[in-house]
Amino acid sequence: MEETNRQRKIAGVLQKDLVDVLQKAAQDGMKGVIISVSKVHVTSDLGVAKVYLSIFPSINRDEIVKGVVSNTVLIRHEMAKRTKNQLRRMPELLFFGDDTLDYIENIDKSLSGKDEDPIKNPDLLPKRKKI
């Protein structure tokens, strides 16, 4: 089902404000870590917002996402204060780590020839399971 115009607008508002909140928190506590909100998807009932976080360096991604999830209540409260004139009800926030940068980096490595060639070594390819 396609997103409605209202869902896209609310996702845009949430994404913009979440970037401010999370980057401020990252500046205060974690030096050298960049947190960006790559995508926000709001459900059709506007009750849940799935937030995808892109974190650099990616080594700390799981640890930082766990920290953000543990502080969801505080983040949601701050977001409710910021969006009180735009939203009646603040959606529940679900945070996920976004690994598209790692995926792109792996493709670049493979295309530049830095990875081992799966044609020459077929053991690198995942095996299909017969059902």
For the record, the structure tokens of 35 come out as 């947190």
Domain extents in the chain: 5-118
Per-residue model confidence (pLDDT) at position 118: 67
Measured between alpha carbons, how far is 37 from 102 in angstroms, rounded to an integer?
16
Residue 62 vs residues 44, 57, 59, 67: alpha-carbon distances, Å = 28, 11, 8, 9
What are the residues facing 53 on neighbouring strands? 37, 97
Q: Residue 16 pLDDT more than 90?
A: yes
What are φ and ψ of residue 49, in 5° steps?
-120, 120
Q: Residue 42 pLDDT more than 90?
A: yes
Task: Check if the beta carbon of residue 92 is closer than 8 Å to that of residue 48.
Answer: yes
Domain 5-118: give its CATH code. 3.30.300.20
Higher pLDDT, residue 129 or 125: 125
Measured between alpha carbons, how far is 27 from 9 in angstroms, rounded to an integer?
27
> Strand ranges (DSSP E) for 4-119?
34-42, 48-56, 92-97
pLDDT band, very low/low/confident/very high, at 92 (cuts 50, 70, 90):
very high
